[in-house]
């Protein structure tokens, strides 16, 4: 075997592209059981989370606070949409905040006002 073949062989093993050694059905079973255990933990956590929320949100003060928080979140969403719309208008040069509007409308008005004030 040449030296180039050895280096390729090492690289393949270094990146784990070959089948694992001593891999049997017991390894696959262990991975299956680990995955099953994790899924059971997730189900238990979801059940606890829903029971916690039903207990907490049954309190009137918590329900009122959650409504206030939702109103604040809705207001933030509305402000974000207004900000995005303003950015879109600015990018498309729509509205009275653009340079073209100042050049076309505001500067001639200022010139006529200064000329008529003398």
More confidently predicted of 22 and 116: 22
Q: Mind listing the pLDDT tens digit for each residue in 17-35?
A: 667 777 888 888 999 999 9
What is the domain partition of the chain in residue ranges?
A: 23-58, 60-118
Contact (CB, 8 A) for 98 and 90:
yes
Given a cut of 60, is residue 116 above it in pLDDT?
Answer: no
Q: What is the pLDDT of residue 104?
A: 62
Supply the Cα-derived Rg of the chain in whole angstroms.
34
Distance CA 87, CA 79 (A): 12
Q: What is the pLDDT of residue 10?
A: 54
Q: Mind listing the pLDDT tens digit for each residue in 35-92?
A: 999 999 999 999 999 999 999 888 999 989 989 999 999 999 999 888 888 888 777 7
Q: Mind listing the pLDDT tens digit for each residue in 86-115?
A: 888 777 766 665 566 556 665 565 555 555
Distance CA 111, CA 118 (A): 11
Given a cut of 60, is residue 1 above it in pLDDT?
Answer: no
pTM: 0.42
């Amino acid at each position: 075997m040449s030296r180039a073949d050895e280096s390729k062989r090492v690289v393949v093993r270094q990146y784990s592209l070959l089948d694992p050694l001593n891999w049997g059905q017991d390894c696959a079973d262990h991975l299956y059981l680990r995955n099953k255990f994790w899924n059971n933990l997730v189900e238990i956590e979801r059940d606890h989370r829903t029971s916690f929320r039903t207990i907490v949100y049954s309190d009137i003060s918590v329900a009122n606070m959650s409504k206030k928080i939702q109103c604040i979140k809705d207001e933030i969403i509305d402000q974000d949409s207004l900000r995005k719309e303003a950015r879109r208008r600015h990018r498309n040069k729509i509205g009275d905040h653009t340079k073209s509007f100042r050049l076309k409308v505001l500067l001639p008005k200022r010139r006529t006002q200064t000329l008529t004030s003398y």
